[in-house]
Amino acid sequence: SQTIHQWPATLVQPVGSPLSLECTVEGTSNPNLYWYRQAAGRGLQLLFYSVGIGQISSEVPQNLSASRPQDRQFILSSKKLLLSDSGFYLCAWSDKRGGTDTQYFGPGTRLTVL
Amino acid sequence: GQNIDQPTEMTATEGAIVQINCTYQTSGFNGLFWYQQHAGEAPTFLSYNVLDGLEEKGRFSSFLSRSKGYSYLLLKELQMKDSASYLCAVRGRASGGSYIPTFGRGTSLIVHP
């Protein structure tokens, strides 16, 4: 069966510091991968998605970036965090070979920028 | 662009039935999803509709009308553990040409005894 991991689970960072969040998927190959952010009381905002290694599409311009160095690894980064970057960051995967392309979410990282 | 509307909050009684509505506008409709999200946790997949009609899965059912841009999630025999946020997501054509889901803000369901 497939599993998706994210770490760290929680993170408190000062404004202006760098960020690196990691997501890995097991039990599948060549998945679609996604990064979402959920601010308090808000919906899920798609940040980046990737259909393959080295292929990144950005949905919202901001101070974040994403990379996919390996087939089942997706990394979210920032060089300098802003207060507005606080939120619940969720990684998701989907099987592009399946008919529904349903997304399955990791446990999330709760980021607080102070 | 895509626009999804669902009620912010609903309350219901344990054992009852509740219907959560979702209306949407999208280009290149390619499926509608419902997710359940408990507080502080990640969303979990509940149902998928791409053709008109009702999909039943245990106590949960989901309905879709593509011509009306409308879906609902029906929860029967409500239990206290059903208290959660329910997210409607519509997959449509993104600016880059791929089909990507857009999520609504979610409906917070409170089940009371």
pLDDT, tens digit (0-9, with 9 covering 90-100), for A75-103: 999 999 999 999 999 999 998 776 778 99
Mean pLDDT computed over B49-68: 96
Q: Which residues of A touch B42 (CB under 8 A)?
A: 90, 105-108
pLDDT score recorded for residue B98: 78
Least CB–CB distance from A43: residue in B31, B99, B104 = B104
Alpha carbons B72 and B21: distance in angstroms, whole number: 4
Tell me whether A108 touches chain B (CB under 8 Å): yes
Sequence-distant (6+) residues with CB within 8 A of B77 are: B15, B17, B59
Alpha carbons A35 and B14: distance in angstroms, whole number: 35
CB A62 within 8 A of CB A79: no
Q: Which DSSP helix (H) or strand (E) runs through B39? A: none
Helix (H, G, I), strand (E, B) or coil at B79: coil
**Single-letter residue type at B41:** E
* A26: β partners: A3
Among the ranges A94-108, B22-36, B88-102, which has the highest mean pLDDT value?
B22-36
Residues of chain A with pLDDT under 70: 61, 98
pLDDT score recorded for residue B104: 94
pLDDT score recorded for residue A60: 79
B33–A43: do the CB atoms touch at under 8 Å? no
